[in-house]
Amino acid sequence: MKSFDGRMIYITGGSSGIGLEMGKIFAARGADLLLLARNSSKLEEAALSMEKCRLSPKQKIGTLSVDVADHADVGKKMSMALEKYGAPDILVSSAGINKYADHFENITYDMFDEVMKINLYGTRDMIHTLLPAMKKKKGHVVILSSAAGLFGMFGYTAYGTSKAALLGLADSLRYELKPLGMKVTVVCPPEVDTPMNLDEAKTLPKEGRAVKSMAGMMSPQFAARVIVKAIAREQYLFIPGALTRFLYLMHRLSNGRGTRMTSDAVIWMVRKKMGK
Ligand SMILES: NC(=O)c1ccc[n+]([C@@H]2O[C@H](COP(=O)([O-])OP(=O)(O)OC[C@H]3O[C@@H](n4cnc5c(N)ncnc54)[C@H](OP(=O)(O)O)[C@@H]3O)[C@@H](O)[C@H]2O)c1
């Protein structure tokens, strides 16, 4: 696989799940890393695990606590980061939450707002703040959207909306950054076995669980490995997993009808079993 030797990579959400596993792979390929998330002790633990994977002790592996949903905090912390670590060659925006996967009527304005602030505005803010510095390096922006941004899902009015919006952001941003020699990759994984799903499981309705299971589940190690490969080949839209790619192809070919018919049937069966 391509070497990332000497590349500076910032990873939001680098302390857990997909971001953590991507960091280990980047470290093993020679990159310098800056891991960003809110919880400092988890960041330190993640950095230690990446130090064990790095090729050389000269590789920098730094951490910085930041709340991507806090506009002022992002501005302040990113100027500190640029001064200490230099501009990123690659920015991976993996920070995200999937709380409040529930019936739309149970999702309050504040819950919806929290999901948007972290998943959408947090990604927007990180890119916008780092863009002037990244332009000089012809950098690469990587956005973690989701299969839930490609397909509607029962219980996903908040999370799915934020992830679909990220696809819109990526699509427009790509046109603006390409003439500058910059790259954009947007990634749409199906379910990945990470701590995020523990949050989701607290509220996800049975109908949503059943529909989601159709696309299968992958390990964070596998997801990270194939995402890093897609970044290395500078692919724009990347959908990890052959099954998800097949479902997306069917979705496009049937203009969404195939997905709606299958999901409606699964939801009908689950509700019948529940006596609804
Ligand atoms: N897991 C899946 O099934 C799946 C599927 C498709 C797409 N994705 C997407 O992949 C990305 C990574 O998900 P994951 O499964 O790896 O999740 P995860 O294991 O729960 O990790 C989420 C990371 O984001 C950080 N984070 C959350 N809120 C933040 C905030 N306000 N500011 C800064 N950092 C924040 C967390 O650290 P702190 O809490 O310490 O801040 C953590 O490092 C997400 O964008 C997710 O939507 C996940």
- What would the pLDDT profile of 223-234 be if each residue is shown by its tens digit? 999 999 999 999
Q: Report in angstroms the alpha-carbon separations of 58 from 5, 27, 51, 54, 177.
A: 11, 11, 10, 9, 31
Residue 263 domain flag: no
pLDDT tens by residue, 172-184 = 999 999 999 999 9
Residue 194 domain flag: yes
Residue 271 domain flag: no
Q: How far is ligand 1, taken at its centre, from the CA of residue 154, in Å? A: 21
User: What mean pLDDT is predicted for residues 232-248?
Assistant: 96
Residue 1 domain flag: no
Summary mean pLDDT of the chain: 97
Q: How far is ligand 1, taken at its centre, from the CA of residue 162, in Å? A: 13
The atom number, within ligand 1, closest to the CA of 217 reads: 3
How many structural domains comprise the chain? 1
Cα 197 to its chain centre, rounded Å, is: 14
Length of the chain: 276
List CB contacts of 168: < 8 A, sequence separation 6 or more.
Answer: none
Neighbours of 205 (CB within 10 A): 18
Residue 1, pLDDT above cutoff 80: no
| pLDDT recorded at residue 86 | 98
| pLDDT recorded at residue 2 | 82
Residue 254 domain flag: no
- Residue 80 half-sphere exposure toward CB, CA atoms < 13 A: 13
| pLDDT recorded at residue 199 | 86
pLDDT tens by residue, 108-148 = 999 999 999 999 999 999 999 999 999 999 999 999 999 99
| pLDDT recorded at residue 215 | 85
Residue 158 domain flag: yes
Residue 91 domain flag: yes
Is the minimum distance from the CB of 146 to ligand 1 under 6 angstroms?
A: yes
| Nearest residue to 146 (alpha-carbon basis) of 240, 259, 234 | 240
Owning domain of residue 97: 8-249
pLDDT tens by residue, 186-213 = 999 999 999 999 989 999 999 999 999 8
Q: Is the separation of the CB atoms in 143 and 185 below 8 Å?
A: yes
Residue 267 domain flag: no
| pLDDT recorded at residue 50 | 98
49 is catalytic: no
Q: Is the separation of the CB atoms in 235 and 185 below 8 Å?
A: yes
CA distance 25 to 31: 9
Residue of 15, 145, 162, 263 marked catalytic? 145
Q: Report in angstroms the alpha-carbon separations of 149 from 35, 41, 146, 166, 201.
A: 25, 31, 5, 8, 19
Name the band, by pLDDT with cuts 50, 70 and 90, for residue 255.
very high
pLDDT tens by residue, 46-101 = 999 999 999 999 999 999 999 999 999 999 999 999 999 999 999 999 999 999 99
| pLDDT recorded at residue 58 | 96
CATH number at residue 211: 3.40.50.720
Residue whose Cα lies nearest atom 21 of ligand 1: it is 16
